[in-house]
Amino acid sequence: MTFPGGTRMSRDHFFPSAYFLVLGLHFAMLFLSTMTRACPKSCLCTERSGLVAVQCASRNLEDIPSDLPHDTVSLLLSSNHITKIPSQAFKELPRLQELDLSRNAIESVDAGAFQGISESLRILDLSHNHLRGVPKEAFARLHAKISLANNPWHCECTLQEVLRELQLDPETINEVSCHTSVQEEYSGKPVIQVLDSGINFCNFHHKTTDVAMFVTMFGWFTMVIAYVIYYVRHNQEDARRHLEYLKSLPSSSQISKDFDTISTVL
């Protein structure tokens, strides 16, 4: 093959070059299509210096999007209708640093909800939701500053153990209050204030368990005693009836006298 200027290229050189050119274009198109799909259609993705921020606030979402860019560092999901954070919901986002889930309707957080981002996450906002409690494993190994304000927390042993392991946002820490409690007198009070006063909800838990066990054992003991009394009385009644029956039978001497009388007559 001859190009303008007299340059010649053999067929052996032309076809490999064309092959690699087509292959390169194919991969470029595939990469671009992947980047296009990476941002959920209901969200707005912006990129700066190779870092992606995903804005999904106020989009009427009921679930956490699954097709998020892998380079996402900021994910804003506030003011939606999300009710649950499932296990490994963010496992494909190893560089995630900021996660805003405030002002949703979240009622439950699975134990492995933040698996895969525990090391990278720096800010986590779960304020203004419907959380009453969370499993201890949910926030395991998290180093993020966490906001848990304005949730209807039920103050008991598990919540106490969870809060002691977290780095709570100092600006909203006093807004983490007991909506209900194992001791009604602490309802409506800030959790940290109650704990700082020396209250230990785990002691209440153990006492409640001990009382329940005592009541259960007392109930079983009462049932056993009642059965024994019934059994004894029932047997006494049977024995009395049997004795009366035996007394009603004619004695052997009486039978002998009757037999002698009959013999004499005969």
pLDDT (tens digit, 9 = 90+) per residue, 62-71? 999 989 999 9
pLDDT of the residue at 1:
54
Between 251 and 222, name the one with better pLDDT.
222
Average of per-residue pLDDT across 232-255: 64
Using pLDDT thresholds of 50, 70 and 90, give the confidence band for residue 34.
very low
Average of per-residue pLDDT across 51-77: 96
Burial of 30 by CB count in 10 Å (0-12 exposed, 13-18 middle, 19+ buried)?
A: exposed
Decide if pLDDT at 24 tops 70.
no
Decide if pLDDT at 254 tops 90.
no
Least confident stretch, 170-179, 190-199, 231-240: 231-240
Element housing 31 (H / E): helix 11-38
Asked if residues 90 and 114 have their Cβ atoms less than 8 Å apart, the reply is yes
Decide if pLDDT at 23 tops 70.
no
pLDDT of the residue at 129:
98
Decide if pLDDT at 61 tops 70.
yes
Hey, which bits of the chain come out as E strands? 44-48, 51-55, 72-76, 84-85, 98-100, 108-109, 123-125, 145-147, 153-155, 167-168, 178-181
Say what the pTM is. 0.65
Asked if residues 106 and 131 have their Cβ atoms less than 8 Å apart, the reply is yes
Decide if pLDDT at 203 tops 80.
yes
pLDDT of the residue at 49:
87
Decide if pLDDT at 35 tops 60.
no
The tens digit of pLDDT for each residue in 120-170 reads 999 999 999 999 999 999 998 899 999 999 999 999 999 999 998 999 999
Q: What is the mean pLDDT of the chain?
A: 80
Least confident stretch, 31-45, 209-223, 225-239: 209-223
pLDDT of the residue at 37:
44
Write out the two tokens for 219: 């109930």
Residue 233 CB partners (closer than 8 Å, separation 6+): none
Q: How many helices (H) and strands (E) does the chain have?
A: 5, 11
**Interatomic CA distance for residues 201 and 164, integer angstroms:** 12
